[in-house]
Amino acid sequence: MLVRVLVVGDLHCNTSAVIRIIDCAADVGADLIVQVGDFGFWPRMSSPGGSSCARRRLGWIGTGCNCGGQMGTTTTYRLSGPDRSNLMGGRRRVSEHMWHLPRGHRWVWGETVWVAAGGAVSVDRYGRTEGVSWFRDEALSDADVDQIVADGEVDVLVAHDAPWGDGVLGRRLSLDLPVCDRGSWWPEDLLLESDSHMRRVRRLVEGVRASRVFHGHHHVRYDDLLGATHGSVQVSGLGDDRGPIDQAWMLVDEAGQPIS
């Protein structure tokens, strides 16, 4: 039987959006949800956007289909620490029906190999607090990419950031221009760091020879073809909780192909 997967973009600790996503999953008959990062899990925080919000959402997810997600930039890295006591089959249990997919985690559906490789640069980090709302290890490192590539080829890459060279996103963000000419309000040094990270994701795509990529960090729903050394790569960007909910998810099969 084919697996029906709801791939979901950034939810940013938005309880209402999570409820709508679970409703969508039920409406389209999804077997499970794969969330691409920035779910917004903050168990250490006591604010309304923190632990109480996380507990409510985890309870709701527990009443729906299973959910697997990875880290982005706005999710606590407590889940990524050295304690591996709650790891099962490479996944880390968050609740009864919710799992964190650690960086480099692989799984197989049918004949298709998937890998999770979350991470991106917080271009707004100067307004955040290190160790609380942004983390030094939130981005993919060169060592991370090298290890994932060394583990072998995959078919589907679930990333958080986009690969460099994506035409749709490149035009939208004016990535062909120097950072000083892009008209962005983000600091130039962080834009350069973000560019480098996207190039790192591109190196990962090339290294594992992925044919399908999902990401959400840029909060734009689109589909594009990326010309790679091993052939054309289907890239899908997902929207987030602040836009129309139908832009924040895709229903795909076990090979990562859209189900209409």
Fold assignment, 5-252: Purple Acid Phosphatase; chain A, domain 2 (3.60.21)
Q: What is the pLDDT of residue 41?
A: 64
Q: What is the pLDDT of residue 94?
A: 74
Q: What is the pLDDT of residue 40?
A: 76
* Residues paired with residue 72 on neighbouring β-strands, in sequence order: none
Kindly calculate the radius of gyration of the chain based on its CA atoms and give it in whole angstroms: 17
Q: What is the pLDDT of residue 92?
A: 79
Query: Roughly what angle, to the nearest 10 degrees, separates helices 51-62 and 15-27?
Result: 10
Q: What is the pLDDT of residue 49?
A: 45
Q: What is the pLDDT of residue 85?
A: 44
Query: How would you class 2 by CB atoms within 10 Å of its CB: exposed for 0-12, middle for 13-18, buried for 19 or more?
Result: exposed
Low-confidence ranges of the chain (pLDDT < 50): 44-52, 55, 57-65, 74-88
Take residue 3 and report the two structure tokens written for it: 């697996």
Q: What is the pLDDT of residue 1?
A: 60
Q: What is the pTM of this model?
A: 0.87
What are the sequence ranges of the domains in the chain?
5-252
Take residue 7 and report the two structure tokens written for it: 């791939």
DSSP-H helix ranges across the chain: 15-27, 51-62, 142-150, 167-173, 188-208
**Residues 171-219: tens digit of each pLDDT:** 999 999 999 999 999 999 999 999 999 999 999 999 999 999 999 999 9
Take residue 102 and report the two structure tokens written for it: 């650690």
